[in-house]
Structure 1
Amino acid sequence: MSNTSEPETLADAVALLAQRDSDLQRARQQLALAHQELADTNRGLIALHTELQAAQQAQARLAAVVQSSDDAIVSMRGDGVIQTCNPGAERLLGHHEDGIVGQHVQSLMPASSREMFEASLRQLRRGERAQSYDTQWCRADGTRVDVTVNLCALRDAGGDLIGYSAIARDITAQVETQRQLQRLAQYDTLTGLVNRAGTIGRLEAALRSSRVPGPELGVLFCDIDHFKTVNDTWGHTVGDVVLATVAARIRGCVRHGDTVGRLGGDEILVLLPGVHGLEEVAAIAEKIRGRAAEPIEHGGLTIRATLSIGATLAVPGESVSTMTARSDQAMYEAKRAGRNSVTCG
């Protein structure tokens, strides 16, 4: 028995056909809508896939930059424990990744550098941009490397702070260049002694200081005897060797805190802080005179260079010109006495 009732009249048949046509139209409309929704969905998926691919490519490019960078790049949790590092960090620190990841970032720093690191973290926690700073980090072999460090905050999609990244760049070459420039500004290039400006500056500072009775400042004015004859006989190259050798011998006769400076030519001034009288100054001068008089062997030559030395005590408050004039006069008295001698003035 069929579930479909048969139309009884022609009118009923027409009405049934009209109903079925209407149902078919609705079905077609629903199918068209479904096709449209499917097409929209497909377009959305394609766009999402494209965005995902772009994000993945950007992430891959960023990862390649991080991996190939000569800078040391580390990321850490909020408590400072390192989570990742790049090959640049391994090269800079002399550690394999296993020796860096899992360590606290402050283990990479000498104690003297940690306050600057903490100051940068405080800036980031306040929502500020941390200023880069120059410091030192520790290598695996215990040596230190000069670096400039830049710290950044790491935040999640909601903007919450989840950690930090640190980028450290090796600036050893720049620091060494700066040290060389500073040395050139303060030291004589031939002898390695403090240059004239530096020596006079130290003497001025010592003369300005008001000292209570006690240790005094001794001053030695040294001049190489017959230095012009050395230059005229063997040439200025040998003269430079003699001057540099005598300068090194003088340095070897005094303490670390004493100043040995070249005033110009073959004139050398020695500042001896903390002495206890002129006798002590004279004894140091005699030690220098004896050492300087030892033969100098160079290029098959045996050269004998001696010193005439004026030994004095500085008077607090007197001018540099007065002080050096007194010691210079004492040195000339030593020359008049036959050279290779010490005279107190």
Structure 2
Amino acid sequence: MVCLLTGVVYSLHVGGQRNLVADHAGADATQFQWGLQNGINANLQRSRELGGFVVASQALTMAGFRTYAERMRILEGGTGMSYVGFVPRVARPAGAPVSLPGAGSSGVDRRGGDPDHTYPYLYVFPDDERSAAARGLDFASVPERWEAMQAARDTGQSVATRKHSYQTGEPTTPIIVLFTPVYDLSRATATVEQRRAALRGFVFSMHQIDIMVEKVMGREFRTYFDLEIFDGPVSREHLVYDGDQRAHVLFKDRDFPVVHRELLDVGGRQWQLFFFPKKPYFERYESLEPVAILVAGLLLSVALAALTAAWLHNHRARVLAQGQALRFDAVFQDHPSAVYLLDRQRRFVNANAQASRELKVAKEGLIGQSIAAFIAPDKQELAAECFEEALQGVPVSYDSAILDKEGERSELSVIMMPIRAVDQVSTVLVFAQNTTAQKRREWELAESRRMLQRVVNHIPQRVFWKDLSLRYLGCNNAFAQDAGLDAPEQIVGKTDFDLAWRANAEAYRADDRAVLQTGDARINYEERQDRADGTVSWLRTSKIPLAGMDGRVVALLGLYEDITPRKEMEAQLREMAHYDGLTRLSNRSFFYHQLEQGIQKARRHGRLLALMYFDVDHFKQVNDANGHDVGDALLTEFAARIRASVRETDAAARLGGDEFAVLLDDVPDRQVAQNVAEKLVAAMQVPFRVGGRELAVSTSIGVAFFQDGMASDDLVQRADQAMYRAKRAGRNRYEIDVAPLEAAGPQPRAPR
């Protein structure tokens, strides 16, 4: 057998040394490729674990992130990993830079590819000089990164960038960045659109390509091999690594007759690896001794393979378990929430102090027990379904409840993060936040709101509240009835344009905006409301800005009462106070008020003011002969003819009985007043038809003009005296008051 092997080896050595070298080179190249692939996979696993930490953190801080990275020694053992971090997705205010804590005074300095969000470089480890210089940079502003971020967001997978450079520091250093998406676990992520909506940000890791390759390959690798790596097609622009900077594949260099090609998956990108054995590698196989050693080594390898494989498997399992326990205790022992590890049978593998306190069982007593023993009966089925989903590699969040050792119930918000070992989920990391107090507060708050709703539903005032976009958040029954709705719940989300008072919507919203912008309440002001059915209401309204815990205005509270009956009563009282109940002309009190205003205006502007004083000739005989009803009807018709004979701006009044007056304000000259007097006398000469009778009456009018120095009583007295002169002159006529300085002037006596 030995002779046979020796002969075979000799023939191979003599007849095919190059093929032998090629075979060995292929085996070594495959080993190196496996090492590089495993290193990249390890980096991806670290990214996923970091994503789990981000999801589990209720309020991520820079200090907390740094502490996690240090305790986990996240960069140690990494394959060329230079930085790790988390970039959150932050909504971008339209037209303004985003101001972020720790990002410097300028905020995010470059607008990225996402028009609605920014992805700031904030949470990063290590936090060195280069990190400080780039803080606040929008990752989406780097095209290579934004391309990979979109792919990771939409697929839910870790995605690598194309080769590019750091944005600060050494601009020529070639790097790639691996992005792992982090989603809001309370939202669905089954479709692309759902994943886009649920995105919280990305865990990233930066890798210097040359360090990543050479750390895996080792120092001796470059002695024996030259390596060239292409990201996809073989071309100059896709070359990401070249050991000796000569690009042998591109130039088909004949100095290297043997070449081996391998493929490498790097975050969804296919890298092509070309291995070129160098001269020292050929020299290793120029004699039979190395070949014989190789044959012996192969024989021994076969014998020891099973033992080695078993030992490696057991050793790896022990190391993994020890490392996992150390990392768990280092990171989660003092976590404020209950945190524990479960194996595939839902048994406790590890638990932190808070878990022991909430379950009221020591850590040693929990290990090996099934979590099912503590889950409340009404939550058992849901918890089992969610655990099975986690075993499929899917992070899960849900609400649950546990019963501690003493039977006391606690409400929980649970997040399950699957942890992989090799090719399957080996354990599930569980974060269980105790929400019992929160649930109780929510119940008390809901009960308080229900009580408040019951109270406001039974008060006569209309009550409503709106958000900052002026959409209704709620109202009471009275308001819903005014709005034409069947129940208060129907108001939610509507605006004033959707309701019965849409004609006043713009005015109402302008008031709302003023209150929200100034923060000043408007109390008890009156406003008109025009309803869709054509009716008009009057409201007494108050609007108050509501502030949150931080003092910022967050909503608007409004209430009003319908004061339409009161306004109608006020109008009636005003009518009764100012106007004669029979003729609807001004009464004596209101007329004297109008007269005073007219006199003040005449004094101020030097305009002519005329007063006419008159009555119904022989009214007493008409009244005695026909009765008071006919007399009242006659007075009503008499007043109607007065209104038809004067301007709308002229004041006409019934002073009492059958006495009337007309105030002509701002007349251009005396002739105009005389023309009005003639018109009135002529109007009353036409017989009146009252109560089926035809009555012929007339009027006697006295006309006086205001002059400086006169009081209102003086002007009335002069007009009254002029009226009596008209009566003495035969009635059915007018007389002009003769002022002392104008006694010689001509005066008309009767209508022409």
Please classify the TM superposition score into its range, dividing by the shorter chain length.
Answer: 0.7 to 0.9
1:333 aligns with 2:725: yes
Whichever residue aligns with residue 541 of structure 2, its letter is V
Aligned to 1:222: 614
Determine which of 640, 652, 659 is the counterpart of 1:260.
Answer: 652
Aligned to 1:189: 581
Root-mean-square deviation over aligned CA pairs:
4.0
Structure 1 residues 167-316: aligned runs within 5 Å: 167-209=559-601, 210-211=603-604, 215-316=607-708
Quick check: which one's helix share is greater?
1
1:150-198: CA deviation from partner (whole Å, max 9, x where unpaired): 2233344666421102122211111111122222222222221111122
- Shift in Å, 1:304: 2.4
User: Equivalents in 2 of 1:335, 1:111: separation in Å?
Assistant: 61
Between Structure 1 and Structure 2, whose CA radius of gyration is higher?
2
Aligned to 1:102: 495
TM-score, normalising length: structure 1: 0.74
User: Equivalents in 2 of 1:301, 1:277: separation in Å?
Assistant: 40
User: Equivalents in 1 of 2:604, 2:551: separation in Å?
Assistant: 62
Aligned to 2:449: 59
Whichever residue aligns with residue 622 of structure 2, its letter is V
Aligned to 2:734: 342
Whichever residue aligns with residue 698 of structure 2, its letter is T
User: Equivalents in 1 of 2:405, 2:492: separation in Å?
Assistant: 55
Q: What is the aligned residue count?
A: 312
Aligned partners of 2:524 and 2:541 also within 8 Å? yes
User: Equivalents in 1 of 2:654, 2:538: separation in Å?
Assistant: 32
- Shift in Å, 1:75: 2.2
Aligned partners of 2:702 and 2:720 also within 8 Å? yes
Higher RCO, 1 vs 2 (CA within 8 Å, ≥6 residues apart): 1
Whichever residue aligns with residue 256 of structure 1, its letter is E
Structure 1 residues 2-151: aligned runs within 5 Å: 38-41=406-409, 55-64=445-454, 66=456, 71-85=461-475, 88-89=478-479, 91-92=481-482, 101-103=494-496, 109=504, 120-121=515-516, 125=519, 130-140=522-532, 144-151=536-543
User: Equivalents in 2 of 1:152, 1:135: separation in Å?
Assistant: 16
1:111-162: CA deviation from partner (whole Å, max 9, x where unpaired): 8888866665567x25xx6422222234335664210112233344666421
Aligned partners of 1:295 and 1:305 also within 8 Å? yes
Whichever residue aligns with residue 297 of structure 1, its letter is R
C-alpha spacing 1:48/1:76, structure 2 compared with 1 (3 Å): closer
Aligned partners of 2:470 and 2:509 also within 8 Å? no
1:288-320: CA deviation from partner (whole Å, max 9, x where unpaired): 222233332232222223211112322233122
Provide the secondary structure at the position in 2 that maps to 1:257.
coil
C-alpha spacing 1:198/1:114, structure 2 compared with 1 (3 Å): farther
Aligned partners of 1:295 and 1:303 also within 8 Å? yes
User: Equivalents in 1 of 2:625, 2:509: separation in Å?
Assistant: 59
Provide the secondary structure at the position in 1 that maps to 2:730.
coil
Whichever residue aligns with residue 295 of structure 1, its letter is P
- Percent of aligned pairs sharing the same letter: 30
- Alignment gaps of 5+ in structure 2: 1-360, 366-373, 375-402, 411-433, 738-752
C-alpha spacing 1:212/1:66, structure 2 compared with 1 (3 Å): closer
- Alignment gaps of 5+ in structure 1: 1-25
Aligned partners of 1:85 and 1:101 also within 8 Å? no
Aligned partners of 1:130 and 1:152 also within 8 Å? yes
Whichever residue aligns with residue 308 of structure 1, its letter is S
Aligned partners of 2:703 and 2:735 also within 8 Å? yes
User: Equivalents in 2 of 1:52, 1:240: separation in Å?
Assistant: 73
User: Equivalents in 2 of 1:94, 1:278: separation in Å?
Assistant: 59
1:195-249: CA deviation from partner (whole Å, max 9, x where unpaired): 1122122223323442555x41121111110111122112222212111221122
C-alpha spacing 1:140/1:69, structure 2 compared with 1 (3 Å): farther
Whichever residue aligns with residue 102 of structure 1, its letter is T
User: Equivalents in 1 of 2:507, 2:495: separation in Å?
Assistant: 22
Provide the secondary structure at the position in 2 that maps to 1:151.
strand
User: Equivalents in 1 of 2:493, 2:530: separation in Å?
Assistant: 12
User: Equivalents in 1 of 2:549, 2:484: separation in Å?
Assistant: 35
- Shift in Å, 1:265: 1.7
